[in-house]
Amino acid sequence: MTWKECLELIDADYARLNKRRFGKFGYLITNHSFKITFWFRIGSYLRSKSGFYKLLLAIVWPIYKHYEYKTGIQLPLGVSVGGGLKFPHFGTIIISYLATIGKNCTIYQGCTIGQKDGRTPPRIGNNVTLYSGAIVIGSTIGDDAVVGAGSVVCKDVEAGSVVAGVPAKVVLHN
């Protein structure tokens, strides 16, 4: 990842916020979603480099971990996440280090994105919304899909589908 790509991802995350009166710096101070994604992007960039960047990572790491503990969002550095990631509410969000998350995804509180059998990584497409308490276990969620609150997804979800229930079943397909 280049520095320019890192800044583009930060800009995409910022663009998803409801901007009322704060600039990027103001949101970095006040908005928990932007705080965690900002430090995630910076930490992931530094983690992918070597040399002097490792010293900078040693400075950024405690800041990132502080916000990870404060928000309850476990998003390991280096996870493949597209721009525009948004956490409208924070708390107990766990994301596997092998997960792949597309662009413009929204993840509400209490969600888990984990591996199946410790091997099968979850893949979340672009423009996906995971509502409160959704659990995705080693599945592929297609683009523009919605996973309902409290759903447990163990099988792949087609693009444009709305799934709900335990286990998750297609409720609506666009």
Domain limits, the chain: 3-73, 92-173
In sequence order, the β-bridge partners of residue 166 are: none
Share of residues in the chain with pLDDT > 90 (%): 83
Topology (CATH) of 92-173: UDP N-Acetylglucosamine Acyltransferase; domain 1 (2.160.10)
Picking from 32, 24, 40, the residue whose alpha carbon sits closest to that of residue 101 is 40
- Answer whether residue 81 shows pLDDT above 70: yes
d(CA 32, CA 154): 30
Which band of pLDDT confidence, cut at 50, 70 and 90, is reported for residue 1? confident
- Answer whether residue 26 shows pLDDT above 90: no
* pLDDT of res. 24: 79
Which band of pLDDT confidence, cut at 50, 70 and 90, is reported for residue 20? low
**In the predicted model, what is the mean pLDDT of residues 77-105?**
95
Nearest 5°: the CA angle 172, 91, 157 is: 25
Provide CB contacts within 8 A for 123, sequence distance 6+: 99, 100, 139, 140, 141
- Answer whether residue 129 shows pLDDT above 80: yes
d(CA 72, CA 132): 14
- The model carries a pTM of 0.93
d(CA 109, CA 21): 25
Q: Which token pair is 44?
A: 């992931």
**In the predicted model, what is the mean pLDDT of residues 140-158?**
96
* pLDDT of res. 90: 84
Which band of pLDDT confidence, cut at 50, 70 and 90, is reported for residue 77? very high
Which band of pLDDT confidence, cut at 50, 70 and 90, is reported for residue 86? very high
- Answer whether residue 119 shows pLDDT above 70: yes
